């Protein structure tokens, strides 16, 4: 809304899980990162960080092809009347719609459930 008076129309691309090579850069090296933490941090957070990293990595590895996001961006740029938001890729629709209708903690709970279900599969 702040940019509209300047003639700038903003479109938000909201990707879900997207499969990219960046997952290794962002989530690789977990043990090396933990080794750099202070001892108290390792004791308190290392196991949690390992679980988080494993789930995030699995979600990305099984994610949607990045071409889907590129096509969505191209569509948003070339359509005469783009929507304000474009949820794109696996889980995007659920992850963007739920917060509108349920309490804040409910989507977090469902994300945890999804991650556990994927872990079992």
Whether this prediction's pTM lies above 0.85 is answered by no
Beta strands of the chain (E only): which ranges? 12-15, 85-88
95-121 pLDDT, tens digit each: 676 667 777 777 677 777 766 665 665
CA distance 103 to 51: 25
Q: Which of 12-16, 20-24, 48-52, 76-80 has the highest mean pLDDT?
A: 76-80
Q: Comparing C-alpha atoms, which of 82, 62, 80 is closest to residue 72?
A: 82
Where do the domains of the chain lie?
A: 4-120
Nearest to 96 by CA among 9, 41, 2, 16: 16
- How many residues are recorded in the chain? 121
């Amino acid at each position: 809304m702040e940019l509209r008076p300047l003639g700038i129309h903003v479109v938000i691309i909201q990707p879900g899980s997207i499969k990219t090579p960046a997952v290794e850069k962002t989530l690789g090296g977990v043990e090396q990162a933990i080794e750099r933490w202070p001892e108290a941090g390792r004791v308190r957070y290392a196991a949690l960080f390992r679980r988080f990293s494993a789930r995030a990595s699995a979600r990305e590895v099984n994610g949607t092809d990045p071409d889907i996001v590129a096509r969505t961006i191209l569509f948003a740029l070339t359509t005469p009347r783009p929507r304000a938001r474009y949820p794109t890729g696996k889980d995007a629709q659920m992850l963007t719609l739920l917060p509108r209708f349920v309490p804040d903690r409910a989507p977090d709970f469902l994300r945890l459930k999804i991650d556990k279900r994927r872990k079992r599969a």
